[in-house]
Structure 1
Amino acid sequence: MSPATSKRELDHPARHEIRLEAVLHALSDPVRLRVVGELAAADGELSCSYFDLPVTKSTTTHHFRVLRESGVIQQTYRGTAKMNGLRRADLDELFPGLFDRILQAAALQGARLGH
């Protein structure tokens, strides 16, 4: 990972450092999968405070960190807000079709389970 140059910059893996097992691990948690689904539906960046998750603030922070460190999302500060966006181009380049299939499977599961 590239080191952060200031407190306001966060570490993200370079594209070539993103590993399939880390991405699959990040997406294996229902809360993280929900975050990713909402980011995909928004087709843009969303602040951390946008998400209404059924977990504590510290657990929410953990989930965003896992998503960032796995290479699934990019986080940047805009003023006091931490903005989140999918690293869609990186994921599609490294694992063609995988991201779309995961989102489709999650939607089907949600419909099947009534979520």
Structure 2
Amino acid sequence: MTRTLPQPAREAIEIVTVLQALADPVRLEIVRELAQETEPRSCALEEYDLDITAATLSHHWRVLREAGLTTTTVEGRRRWIVLRRDDLQARFPGLLDAVLA
């Protein structure tokens, strides 16, 4: 069974919350990595070149999801994450490209 973790609707994504989430250097690096992908990516720590604990990465995933930057899908014990590029572009045209440039 697949389910999606709670996240804000497109129209509820707020610019201040997005920018606060992106202000953290680790989260910005995560978003940069996700921006290079078109398919959902595993949330597992070993998938990323980050010097943090699994618990800290889990916290960053939650902040990104609750800010509206990512979607997390749960399939059994696996979690997949994808950047909400289309939603962010619709809400704040050009923001993601500007932040990642």
TM-score over 0.5 (shorter chain): yes
- Return the alpha-carbon distance in structure 2 between the equivalents of residues 29 and 48 of structure 1: 18
The residue identity in structure 2 corresponding to 1:60 is: L
| 2:22 corresponds to | 27
- Return the alpha-carbon distance in structure 2 between the equivalents of residues 45 and 85 of structure 1: 5
SS in 2 for 1:53: coil
| 2:88 corresponds to | 91
Q: Unpaired segments of 5 or more residues in structure 1?
A: 1-7, 105-115
| 1:108 corresponds to | none
SS in 2 for 1:39: helix
| 2:10 corresponds to | 15
Task: State which structure, 1 or 2, has the greater radius of gyration over its C-alpha atoms.
Answer: 1
Greater relative contact order (CA < 8 Å, ≥ 6 in sequence): 2
Q: TM-score, normalised by structure 1?
A: 0.79
| 2:62 corresponds to | 65
- Return the alpha-carbon distance in structure 1 between the equivalents of residues 100 and 38 of structure 2: 13
The residue identity in structure 1 corresponding to 2:94 is: G
Shift of 1:44: 2.1
Q: TM-score, normalised by structure 2?
A: 0.90
SS in 2 for 1:59: helix
- Among candidates 78, 93, 97, match of residue 100 of structure 1: 97
Percent of paired sites with the same residue: 47
Tell me the C-alpha RMSD between the 2 structures. 1.2
Choose between structure 1 and 2: higher helix proportion.
1
| 1:42 corresponds to | 37
Per-residue CA deviations over 1:68-113 (Å, capped at 9, x if unaligned) read 0000000001232110001000000000001001000xxxxxxxxx
Q: Unpaired segments of 5 or more residues in structure 2?
A: none
